[in-house]
Amino acid sequence: MASSQNIGIYINNFDTQCPNQKTLAQLTGYASDIGSAGYTTGIFWAMHLNAYGDFIYNGGYPEPMISKGKLQPGFSYLPGLCSALKSGGNINKLYFSVGGWSCECDFVFMMDLISKYGTGSANPLYQNFQALKSELGIVGIDIDLEAKSSSSCYSHHYDYYIDLLVKLAGMLNSLGMEMTLCPYMDRGFWLECLSRIYVANNKKQLVTGINLQCYAGGAHNTQQQWVDYVTQSSLPLGITNAATFVNAGYSTLTTDGAPDNGAPSLIQSNFANKNIPAAQMAAGSVSGWIWNEGQIVSSGSLGTAKEYAQAIINGLNQL
């Protein structure tokens, strides 16, 4: 693996509250396996919010993960798992994903809290992001906004959220945290967000990358397409190298957009541009990720965590 490569995995299996000794040992084993598999980035999926700004890990009930700027007792094991993920010496960045299908309320609650408290330290969001960073070592937030997917009281078109993402990027930046975007559709919205963030911050792009979904609802996407969208956009974006900014992600399941997802050999072919008829990757690409750790450990996929990491690495090396 070249030092410039960024190999990511979405982790959706670590959300057990107050795990017993056996479960914690199992989770620690998963973390150690991932940490030594060749990934450089781990993205916990998924964090949600309530109206008070508490951070909820997946279902998360009866206790939120972080509330009033503090990690809650039911999740006191998470710092140890974060350390286990980094123990292999490969993973150097951990993020939390926010949102997902039918989870627009996360972003509506953010809008309400920013409207009430602003983007500074008085906002419960600010306090809880700060705790996410200080107590878990999380470096950034991955925005998985999937508009028009929720119940009517929260369902909005994408454009409704542009101002929120501009303000959220500024809040995270003030905390020394990053923001990445995880689109599967509506490129116009995401490009507009990138442009607005860039312009609002004195022509500094605060978003550090796009994690492009190339499976399920995004199975029609290729990294090459989105690199072209970025490079050919008439909007000011502040992105100097689109091939390293747009990171393609594929699923371990063939049901998530067959035939381009599934076995490690298929994933490797995608990153090596071996699939026909269209090339998946742009020249100069150095990054990619896999969805997801939970499918791998439940035997729902066709390879191990290490095999998927190596498939991405091998494919990029052949590009």
| pLDDT per position as a tens digit, 28-52 | 999 999 999 999 999 999 999 999 9
> Is 60 inside a domain boundary?
yes
Total structural domains within the chain = 1
Alpha-carbon gap, residue 195 to 239, rounded angstroms: 10
pLDDT value of residue 277: 58
CATH code, domain carrying 252: 3.20.20.80
> Is 276 inside a domain boundary?
yes
* Claim: this prediction has a pTM higher than 0.85: yes
pLDDT value of residue 259: 67
> Is 1 inside a domain boundary?
no
Model confidence band, residue 122 (pLDDT cutoffs 50, 70, 90): very high
Alpha-carbon gap, residue 194 to 14, rounded angstroms: 31
Range of the domain at 97: 6-318
